[in-house]
Structure 1
Amino acid sequence: MTVEPNFPLLDEILGQWTDQLGPDLLPYRNHCTRMLNFCFALQPGCTAEEREQLIIAAAFHDLGIWSDGTIDYLPPSEVRARDYLTARGKTEWIPLVDRLIDEHHKLRAYQDARYPLAEVFRKADLVDVSLGLVRFGLPGAFVKEVKTRLPNEGFHKKLMSLAGGWFKLHPLSAPPFIKW
């Protein structure tokens, strides 16, 4: 397994959101890039089209936090991705990209056979969010190398801050992005 430190399409998409992402651009970019490395390691036979779909979904999957300033960020993230796909004439990808984004915080395995990449995407995000504690069979050395080459840059601190704010207001409720 080789770490891919750059995905030009990811950088192109995120470049359109620099003002909204502000100082969180690099932390979010690195999170997306780590996640994509985990996706491609978990699903090594991805076609060029699947790679592009995963890159697009990664770029938008948490973007609603910044584009719309909300912890309930899955719906606006999906809208931003749909707008992007529509503008590029790829509307047939919308159902898949919606599933990738909407189900990436599902606590149980995603089992809709129409969208097998949704489970790969969910697992890859969990590998990164758990800081590699959950690896789904990925070699520890690979996860460590990805984390070393693409440092956190405060991404998890930002997530903890957002979650802390939610739990102060709703101590007995899971955040709206968590799915069972």
Structure 2
Amino acid sequence: MLVSLPTLDALLQTYAPHLGADATGYRNHTYRVANFYWRLLPGDTEMLQKLGIALAFHDLGIWTAGTFDYLPPSRQLAREHLQVIGRPAWQPEVDAMIDHHHKITPTPAGMQASVEAFRRADWIDVSLGTLRFGMPWEFVREVMSAFPDAGFHRRLASLTLRRLWRHPLSPLPMMRW
């Protein structure tokens, strides 16, 4: 089980002031997704770094930009970070992982396997394991036990209801077909 991802931890520490009381819930969400991803598509050290970056930023725009239409600001944060660390070549893959992680249908043919694995891993967590894409329930339960919810799903429900109230014709702008 992945319990320490230095790239992810450093980024989460940097953005902890933005996350405020949601920092633990968001951290645990990212680690659950990391473990589901790694079970679906294990990789090398470089992939762990890309994964850590995509995980740190994938929902971060909720807190940094104060919006539930958070994919564009989340992608922008990741792009800026990749420029700063001198990894602009990683931008297309990390960007696609973030942009497609709320896609309802599978990613298009020809897309990198990491993008689909990231999408599935996030859906496993957001659905509380209802969607598992063949992953054993025992593993899902073990990961959820190791990284408790800490109010993350409650926070998502609250944000969804607030968005629905303010924008009834566009309640989930981050969703993609």
TM-score (norm 2): 0.96
2:25 equivalent in structure 1: 27
Q: CA deviation at 1:54?
A: 1.2
Distance 2:122 2:136 in 1: 16
DSSP 3-state at the match of 2:12: helix
1:128 equivalent in structure 2: 125
Q: CA deviation at 1:61?
A: 0.1
Q: Are 2:58 and 1:72 equivalent residues in the alignment?
A: no
Q: Is the 8 A contact 1:5 1:150 kept in 2?
A: no
1:5 equivalent in structure 2: 3
TM-score (norm 1): 0.95
1:47 equivalent in structure 2: 44
1:1-180 matches, cutoff 5 A: 3-44=1-42, 46-180=43-177
Letter aligned with residue 144 of structure 1: R
Distance 2:101 2:141 in 1: 22
Could you list the runs of 4 or more consecutive aligned residues of structure 1 that deviate by over 3 angstroms after TM superposition?
none
Q: Is the 8 A contact 2:68 2:172 kept in 1?
A: yes
Q: CA deviation at 1:151?
A: 0.2
Q: Is the 8 A contact 1:10 1:59 kept in 2?
A: yes
Q: Is the 8 A contact 2:160 2:171 kept in 1?
A: no
DSSP 3-state at the match of 1:131: coil
Root-mean-square deviation (CA), in Å?
A: 1.1
Distance 2:11 2:100 in 1: 21
Distance 1:37 1:116 in 2: 16
Instruction: Give the fraction of aligned pairs with identical amino acids, expressed as a percent.
Output: 45
